[in-house]
Amino acid sequence: MRRAFITGVNGQDGSYLAEYLLRKGYEVHGLIRRTSSFNRGRIEHLHTYEGDKGLILHYGDLIDASNLFHLLRKIDPHEIYHLAAQSHVGISFETPLSTTNIIALGTLRLLEAIRSLDLSETKIYNASTSELYGNTTQCPQNEDTPFMATSPYAIAKLYGHKICENYRDAYEMKIWNGIFFNHESPRRGENFVTRKITISIAKMLQKKQDKLYMGNLDVIRDWGYAPDYVEAMWQMLQTDKPDNYVIATGVGHSVRQFIECAFEYVDIPISWKGKGINEKGYGLLRHSKQKKILVEINPRYNRPIEVNRLIGDSTKARKTFGWRPKTTFKELVKIMLEEDIKREETTCKFLG
Ligand code: NAP
Ligand code: F7E
């Protein structure tokens, strides 16, 4: 039986990847942090105890090198999927030191543990990111596009990306960097823009929220569906040569378009009035008699530096291991909204 070790297993991607690998018959081990309240909602259905079939959880932390060393010695995995990170770009401006410690040094600690244990046959996936491209003028971005990282998060990830390449070259370690563009799902963290929008709409329909407060509406992202993307992590590790791969849909949409598409799905067309921080989105909720302001700008959601447009070209992944996205932008919006609407309706029912 093949053994996999996932850091960040209770995050969005970790949970889908654990499901995917368990379906493939892997013995799956995951790293979780000790927290004062349990935050295993995304993996509760997979968890079991050592010896049973299912996900085996281990306490640990990327800031604890000896913990990583001892766990890897015990598990001796065939594949390591390194997904753990402080993954919010905006928050990285507020917590640059811990973000850098977790992402940059955390990746190095993991690589050092693997090297010290001489796990030379272990294949390693590193979660790199489209944020490395920053405000590049080249569009779409591929594996040869120069990096222009512009946030503490992106700069820490750039270190992670580069140290993985360095260990690959210097010690012939089998490391793949997946340069993933934004990917979303109903399990997306609630303060990322897509999920914030779908949750807010679901709450508005239940009269539990009046408005959606947003930052920059005109940035463009290439949004895909997370379960499609975790498949690419596994697929690249099955190729012969460690390398870097861009994973993206190739289609860009603005935050504004995401909002419009999501409201349209619940039959609420949005019309915009005003400019800059005074811009407002108007629409008619089912329980209202007249159009109301449903979207407003709050500058607190703006970042000190914004990345304006990221659109990826994943031709290399398609040609090398046949990966292509299965889910369209409209389908993604529908999947996320339906799940959040269902959740809000159920909560309301229980509240009476
Ligand atoms: P996520 O939902 O934020 O999950 C991050 C995971 O990392 C969580 O399990 C978190 O655990 C864990 N973690 C954070 N700090 C840790 C530490 N010090 N030690 C151990 N674990 C720690 O992120 P995601 O969306 O699944 O993304 C997975 C990875 O891909 C991340 O590295 C992210 O930066 C990268 N990425 C994501 C995207 C995207 O669009 N989703 C695109 C490109 C790259 P807690 O629950 O305890 O915080
Ligand atoms: O922002 C803008 C915001 O926080 C998307 C992470 O998974 O993908 C993710 O990073 C855009 C940004 O994701 C709000 O300024 C406007 O331009 O959903 P996000 P992100 O920053 O693109 C990359 C690839 C990763 O690697 C990261 O780990 O939307 N935006 N208004 C807003 N963003 C948020 N969060 N909230 C707003 O109100």
| Contact by Cβ (8 Å): 228, 183 | yes
90 Cβ below 6 A of ligand 2 = yes
3-state DSSP call for residue 245?
strand
Q: Which ligand is nearest to the CA of 68?
A: 1
Asked if 110 contacts 125 with a C-beta cutoff of 8 angstroms, the reply is no
Cis peptide before 77 (omega within 30 of 0): no
pTM over 0.85: yes
- The rounded Å distance from CA 41 to ligand 2 centre is 22
Question: Is residue 148 helix, strand or coil?
Answer: coil
Token couple for 271: 């019309």
Task: Give the DSSP H or E segment for 178.
Answer: strand 174-180
Residue positions annotated with a catalytic role: 129, 131, 153
Per-residue pLDDT of the chain (352 residues; tens, 9 = 90+): 999 999 999 999 999 999 999 999 999 999 999 999 999 999 999 976 555 568 999 999 999 999 999 999 999 999 999 999 999 999 999 999 999 999 999 999 999 999 999 999 999 999 999 999 999 999 999 999 999 999 999 999 999 999 999 999 999 999 999 999 999 999 999 999 999 999 999 999 999 999 999 999 999 999 999 999 999 999 999 999 999 999 999 999 999 999 999 999 999 999 999 999 999 999 999 888 899 999 999 999 999 999 999 999 999 999 999 999 999 999 999 999 999 999 998 876 666 5
Span from the CA of 11 to the centroid of ligand 1 (angstroms): 5
Contacts with 275 (C-beta within 8 Å, 6 or more apart), sequence order: none
Q: Where are the alpha helices (DSSP H) in the chain?
A: 12-23, 65-75, 89-94, 96-100, 106-116, 152-171, 193-205, 226-237, 255-265, 315-321, 329-351
Distance of CA 34 from the midpoint of ligand 1 (Å): 15
**Which protein residues touch ligand 1 with a CB less than 6 Å away?**
7-8, 10-14, 31, 33, 35, 39, 61-63, 83-87, 102, 127, 129, 180, 182-183, 189
